[in-house]
Amino acid sequence: MNLPKKNLFFLKYFLVFIVGFFLVNSTAAFQVDEEILYQISATVLDKKGHTFEVFWFYRLDEESWKGKGTLTIFGKDYLSLDLPFMNVLIQKSVMSVKYPEEDQVLIDYFNRRDPSNLFAVLLSEFNGFIVENIDANNEQISLSLVPESLVGFDHLWMTVKENEWIPKTIKAVSGKEMEINVDVLSVGPLVNPDDLIMGKLTASEIIDLRE
């Protein structure tokens, strides 16, 4: 069937309009997603620093650990986490981890581009992850993030209070092997950043993997 030239003209430009409409809306949605991630990162990584009281759950294969603790973040370069079963200290390019039960500290280079390390994901402004879904409900925003590559976490979920941008919950999973759940119980200012900058983890055994 041959359509009149006039109909072909309108059909052509109607299709162009539809394609353009969806491209514009997809671009706008992407910009909104990026803006929300930026707001969360800018708040968490504020140069004045934050102290978070958290409940931390960590599962690796069949073993799991959980407990209340303190997470402190000072900009993009300094982080500490103090839990009953683990202590973490990140100072720029160095990461120290203490296991109290073994009275042992491991020191290694910190790879902030490691998509399987939740601390790296937080300090790198969620680099390597894109927003899969956003849902706003009762002044709370829920985000689902997926990785750009097949390495690291399969999925990240976060909830934040609207207009405050501080995470309330964070969940990260890697297959069936690893799961991390973080509940933020309270947030306050970082009182003494020198504890992060100059601090050290001590133990009877120090293993430096950089050597």
Give per-residue pLDDT as tens, 132-176: 999 988 789 999 999 988 778 999 999 998 788 999 999 999 999
Q: Does residue 85 have a pLDDT over 50?
A: yes
Cα gap 91→97, rounded to integer Å: 12
Q: Band of the pLDDT at 31, cuts 50, 70, 90?
A: low
pLDDT of residue 28: 40
Question: Could you give the count of Cα atoms lying within 13 Å of 169 in the half-sphere of its Cβ?
Answer: 10
Q: Band of the pLDDT at 6, cuts 50, 70, 90?
A: low
pLDDT of residue 19: 45
Q: Does residue 207 have a pLDDT over 80?
A: yes
**What is the secondary structure of 173-197 as a DSSP string?**
EETTTEEEEEEEEEEEE-S-THHHH
pLDDT of residue 36: 86
pLDDT of residue 184: 97
Q: Which range, of 136-140, 178-182, 204-208, averages the lowest pLDDT?
A: 136-140
Q: Does residue 35 have a pLDDT over 90?
A: no
Written as six digits, the tokens of 159 are 């909830």
Sequence-ordered list of residues with C-beta below 8 angstroms from that of 102, at least 6 positions apart, any chain:
203, 205
Residue scoring higher pLDDT (14 or 184): 184
What's the mean pLDDT in 52-68?
Answer: 96
Percent of the chain with pLDDT over 90: 70
Q: Band of the pLDDT at 7, cuts 50, 70, 90?
A: low
| Domains of the chain listed by start with CATH number | 39-75+115-190 (2.50.20.10)
| DSSP-based three-state secondary structure for 205 | strand
**Residue of 83, 20, 93, 90 whose CA lies nearest to 55:** 83
